[in-house]
Structure 1
């Protein structure tokens, strides 16, 4: 195997050098940014250093008239391991080894696969990537994308990078990343509720905007779907909360019932029997207190005719969101609602929680205005927002 180092001003220039000398069968083993020249430590020039390799047998065994095949690419799941880990020491071993190069590379890749798995499990992904890929990964790291999702994304980007000829512009790599994030989420239930169940219950900690979100949903169901709506509130811990929902009920001209226990809930259900949809508002209290969740079960009848939505604020830390989910997990959660989208520029938690808990998102909210500032969640739009935030 012939291995050579190239230095150029850009990746496309480096690829031209590689193809001119080694041909289209060359494989890129490593690329990184280096700085050369300068005066007294200043005015250094930024360049790309590329390590490429070619098996001479590939150039001599092909008939002259045959069109050159694209650069040989390892199995897709192994591609990232070449980019991440084939360093100079590995390449020296390849040159000295009596085993045919392709077999030796596969052995190296197998070992590297184990190494990358350990890197992912440790939560630290340290590797050298083409500058276009590194730019995209860095932007998603800034978005607090979980490290395991980063690992899968990096593997997928590297696969597409080589399949596309290893010289794609960063704009195209962003599109690949958006596609990946969409694929991660699309299998779960997103968007408007089907309104097939009579009860829609919102749960969550204090301060996330449950009551306002409930009013927005009620207005949408009434105006868009022509449904007759009723309210039930179990938030008897705060007088202001009852007054807030009563105000919305008055504005929307819908009936409201206040419940203190399961008996009240049963009476409220009968009182609102002629409503198409009954929206249930629950108390927001300290989510770290498991007793709070037990109290909910003593007031709300969680039956099969109820859709339950966990409301989370995007201004909260992801660790808190996960703790909230765990506390409420004894109640069946159908989907998330994410609020305060307008108050943050970091959206990774949406993707992370969807993938981790395999739950879709019904709505996202973007302000306090009722009935505005709410929209059905869409996995493509969330992926696009993650990419376009910078």
Structure 2
């Protein structure tokens, strides 16, 4: 602001000088009468002194800013004090009913912009007040969490699922056949994926070649066997399994083969003495074959018979049916199996039994030292997935395969290749 003092004989001349020097927008600050001449000429008429000022460009901008600033009144200050008291007591501040007047066009524009950016309540909230009072460590942690969330959103990448390759029609048909047979789904998917990755498109479209590869892979999943009936797996063979799985008829087939074909001295011990029908059936087979039959009513009697028949080439033991869901039955059966030498117990599994029942039976009886599996009734079903899963999961070798009701000529050695063919073709090979 430019300030200047003007002196003149009268007021009219002084104002003309102000207008000439400072312009028409000059502002008069003060006016007074002063002596016009030197101090010794006191008789002369007094003159006029005028102090005037003119605002510069900087002063204009500052003046505008000062106008925009609203000076709060005493009533407004009282309201702010009351609001602070409400904050300290945990109460919410009521929204103002009569806001301060807005001065100037720029103030209106700034208020409109703030209302658009913050459509909600704009007063100071208690949550904000508490946030300001948090320790610096909590504020730093909060800022770090927000930063990590923002960074994660900014750098997030949508990962698309890997496209599943299309399975050729021939391979898809074989896969569906294995699933229908009841083969473990996890194993089926593994075999299909291996062939899909390793074999050429030409082989995948050739059914005969692909069928041969699948059978080889299934065979590799099973434990190897001797594939010969001439070999006696153990001197004592105790057959155990579910009721009706064919234990008694399997004992008769083993006795007939090793006595008639191999010329072995065979002894039959019947441990299923609870059922009279089991004793009658065993006696009929023994009399037909002409082999000695002994009955063991207790585990002690069974142990004595095993000790007395040491000169026999093969001792066959027919046990009672196992009910894996009955604790008493398992304990009673276990008392007989515990006196049998280790590695002489064989699980007789019917090909017609469900997968879950075979698995549960194997888990129940494996504590008695199972040596292998005898698969029966292969002529009564076209589904061999349950028997395959039993061998694959238990890692027990397949020693014998039985079919039909005749005791002569219906016993074959266990062959993993034939079982794999049965799983793929749905029919157990004759030879």
TM-score calculated relative to the size of structure 1: 0.64
Query: Is contact 1:203–1:308 with CA below 8 Å preserved after alignment?
Result: yes
Query: Which residue does 2:191 correspond to in 1?
Result: 153
Which residue number in structure 2 is paired with residue 314 of structure 1?
351
Alpha-carbon contact 1:232-1:257 (below 8 Å) kept: yes
User: Is the alpha carbon distance of 1:322 and 1:186 closer, same or farther for their aligned partners in structure 2, counting shifts above 3 Å?
Assistant: closer
1:362 alignment partner in structure 2:
399
Runs (5+) with no aligned partner, structure 1: 1-106, 116-125
* Match in the other structure for 1:223: 260
Hey, what does 1:347 align to over in structure 2?
A: 384
Cα distance, 1:165 vs structure 2: 4.4
Instruction: Tell me if 1:138 matches 2:140.
Output: no
Which of these residues, 278, 287, 305, is aligned with residue 241 of structure 1? 278
Cα-Cα RMSD: 2.5
Cα separation, 2, equivalents of 1:352 and 1:190: 20
Q: Which digits, 9 at most, give the CA deviation of each residue in 1:62-96, with x for residues without a partner?
A: xxxxxxxxxxxxxxxxxxxxxxxxxxxxxxxxxxx
* 2-structure distance, mates of 1:137, 1:196: 36
SS in 1 for 2:273: coil
Deviation, structure 1 residue 129: 0.6
Distance across 1 between alignment mates of 2:204 and 2:267: 58
Q: 1:378 matched to which residue of 2? A: 415
Cα deviation, residue 189, structure 1: 6.8
* Contact 2:337–2:368, Cα closer than 8 Å, also in 1: no
Instruction: Tell me how far 1:155 sits from its aligned partner.
Output: 1.9
Q: Does the 8 Å CA contact 1:198/1:306 hold for their aligned counterparts?
A: no
2:348, 2:203 → 1: CA distance? 43
Deviation at 1:252, TM superposition (A): 1.1
SS in 1 for 2:244: coil
Q: Structure 2 CA distance, aligned partners of 1:332 and 1:245? A: 25
Give unmatched runs, 5+ long, in structure 2: 1-158
Alpha-carbon distance in structure 2 between the residues aligned to 1:229 and 1:165: 55
Shift of 1:225: 2.2
Q: Which residue of the other structure, out of 247, 251, 254, is the alignment partner of 1:210?
A: 247
Cα distance in structure 2, aligned partners of 1:287 and 1:358 = 20
Change (3 A) 1:255 1:288: same
Local SS of the residue matching 2:346: strand
Residues 303, 268 of structure 1: CA spacing in aligned structure 2 closer, same or farther, 3 A cutoff?
closer
Alpha-carbon shift at residue 190 of structure 1 (Å): 6.0
Larger radius of gyration: 2
Structure 2 match to 1:263: 300
Larger RCO (CA under 8 A, 6+ residues apart) = 1
Shift in Å, 1:130 = 0.9
Separation of aligned partners in 1, 2:334 and 2:204? 58
Taking the aligned partners of 2:384 and 2:233, their CA distance within structure 1 comes to 30
Write the distance in 1 (CA, Å) between the matches of 2:206 and 2:385. 24
Superimposed CA distance per residue, residues 200-236 of structure 1 (whole angstroms, 9 cap, x where no aligned partner): 0000111111000011011111123221000111101
Whether 2:316 is the aligned partner of 1:279: answer yes
- The count of corresponding residues between Structure 1 and Structure 2 is 269
Per the alignment, do residues 195 and 264 of structure 1 end up closer, same or farther by CA in structure 2, a change over 3 Å counting?
same
Aligned pairs for 1:85-234 (under 5 A) are: 128-162=166-200, 165=202, 168-187=205-224, 192=229, 194-195=231-232, 197-234=234-271
In 2, the alpha carbon distance for the partners of 1:188 and 1:221 equals 19
